[in-house]
Amino acid sequence: MTSGGRLTQRVALVTVGGGEIGGAICRRFAAEGAEVAIADLDPAKSEAVARAIAGGGRALALEVDVADEASAKDVVERTVARFGRLTTLVNVAANVTPDGTVENLTLEDWNDALSVNLTGAFLMCKYAVPEIRKAGGGTIINIASQLGQIGVAGRAPYTTSKAALIQFTKCLAADNAADGIRANTLSPGGVDTARILRRFDSREAANRARGPAYLLGRPGRADEIAAGALFLASDESSFMTGADLLLDGGYLAFKGTIDKPV
Ligand SMILES: NC(=O)c1ccc[n+]([C@@H]2O[C@H](COP(=O)([O-])OP(=O)(O)OC[C@H]3O[C@@H](n4cnc5c(N)ncnc54)[C@H](O)[C@@H]3O)[C@@H](O)[C@H]2O)c1
């Protein structure tokens, strides 16, 4: 179903397209006229989102491990084989590693975060950029985090990977601007997704506890993040590249009362 048509003629590839934030992005992009390749570690999740998009007509369900170079290359190739081109890449994949400090985190914890959150985005871009250039230009959106801009006790691997992703994206923008490829990060604040159950007993409890940390009194919703991704993917952001779009409900704007940022 095409309502606004802000992404007609676009072909988007979204990692973690089967997840809550990635799925919301895929559905919003499809509703705006894009053809969407939905790539997820779990192919059943990709297929469920593909089915929800116009019966799967303009959607392609794929399986990807973004930390694996062959897999990243494969999903780019399959997207182009199916839709004829690639104009838009959204890197959503993230590995949320255990909390800890340098003394008790393992090298594996550290590498797990960087290999997906940073190297995974690098690998996806490595194979997507030449295709986006062939298509005459397009956009890359790397999902970072508001925590990529601040120090957070016990969260070095995740927050460092997100800070590095923001820096990587600035370089990506610089390297490819002349070819009409814009690259930006989108940094959500806390979003009401199942991931929060790692830290709280229920989503309701998480929203209650986290609310005071946000000027708007609540964490965000996946559809609000998808709205930001739509802006970055469409021509409405045509003068924006190498930048970070912060959608954090005012989290970074003041010192909240919460004692464990999430
Ligand atoms: N939910 C939040 O509060 C929040 C806040 C800020 C930023 N973010 C970012 O938004 C994005 C989506 O987060 P989310 O909360 O929807 O869910 P999430 O944390 O569940 O999403 C991360 C997904 O990445 C997938 N993944 C892990 N390793 C992978 C690999 N090697 N290849 C492919 N996929 C892999 C996981 O299966 C998981 O579904 C992430 O980048 C996250 O860091 C989320």
**By the 8 A CB rule, do 230 and 222 touch?**
no
Q: Where are the alpha helices (DSSP H) in the chain?
A: 20-31, 43-52, 69-83, 107-117, 119-134, 156-176, 203-210, 222-233
Pairing status of strand 88-91 against strand 138-143: parallel
- CA atoms 22, 244, 78, 34: torsion sign: positive
Pairing status of strand 59-63 against strand 181-188: unpaired
pTM, entire model: 0.95
Mean pLDDT across the stretch 182-208?
91
Domain that holds residue 97: 11-247
- pLDDT of res. 80: 98
The answer to whether position 51 is within a domain reads yes
Residue 72 pLDDT level (bands cut at 50, 70, 90): very high
Determine which residue's CA is closest to atom 18 belonging to ligand 1: 195
User: Quick check: 196 pLDDT over 50?
Assistant: yes
Rounded to the nearest whole angstrom, what is the distance from the C-alpha of residue 55 to the centroid of ligand 1?
25
- Among 25-29, 57-61, 107-111, 157-161, the range scoring the smallest mean pLDDT is 57-61
Q: Is 158 among the residues known to form the active site?
A: yes
User: Quick check: 23 pLDDT over 50?
Assistant: yes
The answer to whether position 227 is within a domain reads yes
Number of residues assigned to the chain:
262
Q: Is 121 helix (H, G, I), strand (E, B) or coil?
A: helix
- pLDDT of res. 195: 83
- CA atoms 187, 19, 13, 109: torsion sign: positive
The listed range with the strongest mean pLDDT (41-55, 205-219, 230-244) is: 230-244
**What is the Cα–Cα distance from 132 to 110, expressed in whole angstroms?**
31
The answer to whether position 62 is within a domain reads yes
Rounded to the nearest whole angstrom, what is the distance from the C-alpha of residue 15 to the centroid of ligand 1?
9
The answer to whether position 167 is within a domain reads yes
User: Quick check: 231 pLDDT over 90?
Assistant: yes
The answer to whether position 185 is within a domain reads yes
The answer to whether position 3 is within a domain reads no
Q: Is 79 helix (H, G, I), strand (E, B) or coil?
A: helix
User: Quick check: 258 pLDDT over 80?
Assistant: no
Rounded to the nearest whole angstrom, what is the distance from the C-alpha of residue 178 to the centroid of ligand 1?
31
- The mean of the pLDDT values for the chain is 94
The answer to whether position 259 is within a domain reads no
User: Quick check: 76 pLDDT over 80?
Assistant: yes
Walk across the sheet containing 88-91 and list its strands: 59-63, 35-40, 11-15, 88-91, 138-143, 181-188, 244-247
- pLDDT of res. 2: 43
Work out which ligand 1 atom sits closest to the CA atom of 42.
37
Higher-scoring residue by pLDDT: 4, 180: 180
Pocket lining for ligand 1, CB < 6 angstroms: 15-16, 19-21, 41, 64-67, 92-96, 116, 120, 143, 145, 188, 190-191, 193, 195
- pLDDT of res. 197: 83
User: Quick check: 3 pLDDT over 70?
Assistant: no
**What is the Cα–Cα distance from 225 to 88, expressed in whole angstroms?**
16
Kindly name the residue from 127, 158, 214, 251 that is annotated as catalytic. Answer: 158
Q: How many domains does the chain have?
A: 1
pLDDT cut 70: percent of the chain above it: 95
The answer to whether position 258 is within a domain reads no
Tokens of 48: 């469920």
Matching residue, tokens 């690998």 = 123
The listed range with the strongest mean pLDDT (30-44, 200-214, 243-257) is: 30-44
User: Quick check: 125 pLDDT over 60?
Assistant: yes
The CATH number assigned to the domain holding 75 equals 3.40.50.720
Smallest Cα–Cα separation from 243: which of 187, 202, 175, 185? 185
Work out which ligand 1 atom sits closest to the CA atom of 18.
39
**What is the Cα–Cα distance from 17 to 38, expressed in whole angstroms?**
5
Rounded to the nearest whole angstrom, what is the distance from the C-alpha of residue 181 to the centroid of ligand 1?
24
User: Quick check: 123 pLDDT over 80?
Assistant: yes
Residue 83: partners with Cβ closer than 8 Å, 6 or more residues away: 11, 35, 37, 60
Burial tier of 96 (Cβ tally within 10 Å: 0-12, 13-18, 19+): middle
